[in-house]
Structure 1
Amino acid sequence: MRLVLASASPARLGVLRAAGADPLVEVSDVDEDALLAAHPDADPARKVTLLAAAKAAAVAERIAGEHPDALVIGCDSMLLLDGDLVGKPRDTDDARHRWLAMAGRTGELLTGHAVLRLVGGAVAKEAEGHAVTAVRFAEPDPEELAAYLGTGEPLKVAGAFTLDGFGAWFIDGIDGDPSNVIGISLPLVRRLLGGIGVSVVDLWRKES
């Protein structure tokens, strides 16, 4: 059973590899803006879960012929602050404004998850859910913020921050699962896999 990660995120891939898995990476081509526009009344948790499910389904359909017995994991992360759900910033100015709004405050990082089990090229079982981790942001001074924005890192990630990169200097603490902040909640994925009859230990790579 081939494990497939439906995400281009190197952070998610790194989390899975560090936890013993060696997934194949397949990037979905889901139009996220169109999907969210089609569900304007969905709550934040439902929105990220819908996106994760759509990504997993798109990749599952694409790889079914080559990998008919596969396990596909899709994820999508966004930051909830002041009732607004935001993904990656549009540009450096957008990232700067977000940090000015986040500094010294607490936001919630939401990640939707979907797992699909393919048997004979068809989806036989599926499960989905979401994880929430509270993130307490520090208050970087103007020079620190300018330097951080200059790394380009905030433009690549939901919420314009990371917990496993330059952004970690400006996170005072979290309440909840740290892997969820990086982009994929290992405890939640383990539970979802169990719900479709897959033991996470069977996904660990066999060391020679």
Structure 2
Amino acid sequence: MKINRLVLASTSRFRRVLLEQSGIQVFGIAPQCDEEAIVGSDPWQTARLRADAKALSVEMGAVHENSIVIAADQVLEFQGRAFGKAADEDEARLRLREFSGQVHRLHSAFSLAFYEADHAEPKLLSSEVVTATLGMRTLAADELEAYLRTREWEGCAGCYQYENKGAQLFDWVDGDHTTIIGLPVLALLKQLRKLGINTLTQPMGPWTCETVDPARTLELGQI
């Protein structure tokens, strides 16, 4: 089986940069699903289900050759509750006040789907969720306002960008930085290698893989 290209079902420039820095060249296509309408039994499950839905929602007309679609989602868990992106600065302020001096977790999920040329339905291959735990330091009021002025809270589940000035908000973290940013690259690379795609030795497709068997791949993954 030939896999011609890797597709990122996301418009996130952060995830695109993470992949490119790791040597994964992808085509970006926006997913076609309402992720906010998908809610699992807990924050971990919500992240996985949303990543699955994104991976399976790319328009078939946009995929003209055998492709692996990569999708990701991130949900913040604090005291058993799930948090997504803040709607505005006031909500971001309330969130950061709540997280200040406390510990929260980021559940970063990714899913892989196989799109075969001229076939109607994609096939889900694997899903995995990797969790990072973060201890935010107690923020003074002027620090919180200074951070809000950076606008880094916009579009981020935790109302911060850890890879930028948001690093100043934390005392400690347990987890790799790609999980915190929103796409666990080490776990993703491992799953791609299981499929026969090694972007270190062969950065660009086509890649020769064993016949793609969703049942077998799901067994290898952590769905």
Tell me the TM-score normalised to structure 1 length: 0.87
Identity %: 27
Residue matched to 2:97: 100
Count of paired positions? 200
Rg (Cα) greater in structure: 2
- Alignment partner of 1:119 out of 116, 121, 137: 116
Alignment correspondent of 1:22: 25
The answer as to whether partners of 1:3 and 1:203 remain within 8 angstroms in 2 is: no
- Does structure 1 retain, via aligned residues, the 8 Å contact 2:54–2:72? yes
Q: Quick check: 2:69–2:113 contact (8 Å CA) kept in 1?
A: yes
Q: Secondary structure at the match of 1:152?
A: coil
Q: What secondary structure sits across from 1:74 in the alignment?
A: strand
Q: Which residue of 1 aligns with 2:79?
A: 82
Contact 2:56 2:123 in 1 (8 A): no
Deviation at 1:205, TM superposition (A): 5.3
Instruction: Give deviations 1:103-122, integer Å, cap 9, x for gaps.
Output: 11111100111011223344
1:70 equivalent in alignment to 2:34: no
Residue 12 (str. 1) matches residue 15 (str. 2): yes
The verdict on how the C-alpha distance between 1:205 and 1:2 changes in structure 2, with shifts beyond 3 A counting, is: closer
Alpha-carbon distance in 2 for matches of 1:35, 1:195: 29
Given that residues 127 and 196 in structure 1 are in contact (C-alpha distance below 8 angstroms), is that contact kept between their aligned partners in structure 2? no
What letter matches 1:20 in structure 2? G
**Shift of the alpha carbon at 1:30?**
1.4
| Cα RMSD for the two superposed structures | 2.0
Q: 189-198 vs 168-177, which deviates more?
A: 189-198
Query: 81-90 or 51-60: which moved more?
Result: 51-60
Unmatched 5+ stretches in structure 1: none
The structure in which a higher percent of residues are helix is 1
CA–CA distance in structure 2, aligned partners of residues 136 and 61 of structure 1: 42
Give me the whole-angstrom Cα distance separating, in 2, the residues matched to 1:136 and 1:121: 48
- Partners in 2 of 1:62 and 1:145 — Cα distance? 46
Q: Using a 3 Å threshold, how does the CA distance of structure 1 residues 121 and 162 change in structure 2: closer, same or farther?
A: farther
Instruction: Give the Å deviation of 1:195.
Output: 4.0
**Structure 2 runs not aligned, ≥5 long:** 206-223
> Could you tell me which residue of structure 1 aligns to residue 151 of structure 2?
152
1:200 deviates by 4.1
State the one-letter code of the partner of 2:182.
G
Q: 1:139 to 1:158 in 2, by over 3 A?
A: same
Counting only pairs closer than 5 Å after superposition, residues 191-206 of structure 1 correspond to structure 2 as 191-201=190-200, 204=203
Name the SS for the 1:156 alignment partner. Answer: coil
Return the TM-score normalized by structure 2. Answer: 0.82
Distance 1:135 1:88, change over 3 A: same
Give 1:182-197 correspondences, 5 Å limit.
Answer: 182-197=181-196
